[in-house]
A and B are shown apart, each in its own frame.
Chain A
Amino acid sequence: MMVDKLCSASDEGATTLLSVRDDNMFLDGEKMCEAGIIEHMAQSASAMEGYKYKSQGKEAPVGFIGEVKKFTLNFMPKIGDTISTEIRVVSEAMGITLINAQSSVDGEVAATCQMKIFIRG
């Protein structure tokens, strides 16, 4: 799992946390590679969707990445860092959720992107 904690979730978005531990599968040496950050962003959006489904008494759906646009990597978080991610929902229709994601470590933006998540309930 690439999300430790869903801190807040609403129709507009969510915030999540992930601690980079030494057993994370996305490590490149001491650092989390860009694929790990993108997976963390996607799982943050999935956690948000899962929370919404569960609060309506429905099974959590599976979600997968349909598109990533304008992903910009500033730096790779390292072991011991806590990644804080903000998800903003841009639109949601027909099982496709369009989000903006921003991941930070200690207030410094590590990466941003736009993502389309395909949700299958």
Chain B
Amino acid sequence: MKLLNSYFNIIESTVTEDGLTGKFIVSLNGNHPVYEGHFPGEPVCPGVCSMQMVKECAAQMCGKKLTFIYLKQYRLLSVMTPAVNGNIDINIELTPAEKDGASIFKIKAAVCESDNIEQKYLDINGELAPAE
């Protein structure tokens, strides 16, 4: 599944030289077919699409396809919809780590409304491994 350039578009991204801290400003596409079912006549961003969106941004930072092998916590803080929300900020912190002898990244990410830090949608704390 790839959501970049269909479910969402990256408008602007700033990534530190070490590739570990990133800020992405993205827009959501309210016409994506996922909203036909989630929910009919009342589009709500599916949590799993938000996770996938964060993961695809993290993949841009390290130049590798990634998989969530562990989620300590994914937390919805307020309902996100493509219809009423403007742009979205995705802030990501990656920390290189080792798990079972393999290189992974610990990730902390927060998603909020652009220019309105008070309007938080979700946060994620987990582990990403390079995809096989």
The SS class assigned to the A binding surface is strand
The SS class assigned to the B binding surface is mixed
The reply on B52 being an interface residue by CB < 8 A is yes
Q: How many residues of B contact A (CB 8 A)?
A: 25
The reply on A17 being an interface residue by CB < 8 A is no
B1, A113: Cβ atoms closer than 8 Å: no
A65, B76: Cβ atoms closer than 8 Å: yes
The reply on A67 being an interface residue by CB < 8 A is yes
Distance, CA A66 to CA B48, complexed state (A) = 11
What residue of chain A has the Cβ atom nearest to residue B126's Cβ? Answer: A71
Mask, A95-119, CB within 8 Å of B = 1, is 0000000000000000001000010
Do A34 and B68 contact each other (CB < 8 Å), given the known contacts A28-B131, A67-B76?
A: yes
Can you sample 24 A-B contacts with CB below 8 Å?
Answer: A33-B1, A33-B52, A35-B48, A35-B55, A39-B46, A42-B48, A64-B76, A64-B79, A65-B46, A65-B47, A65-B48, A65-B74, A65-B76, A67-B73, A67-B75, A68-B71, A68-B74, A70-B71, A70-B72, A71-B68, A71-B70, A72-B70, A73-B69, A113-B71
Chain A to chain B: the 3 pairs with minimum beta-carbon distance, closest first: A71-B71, A65-B47, A35-B48
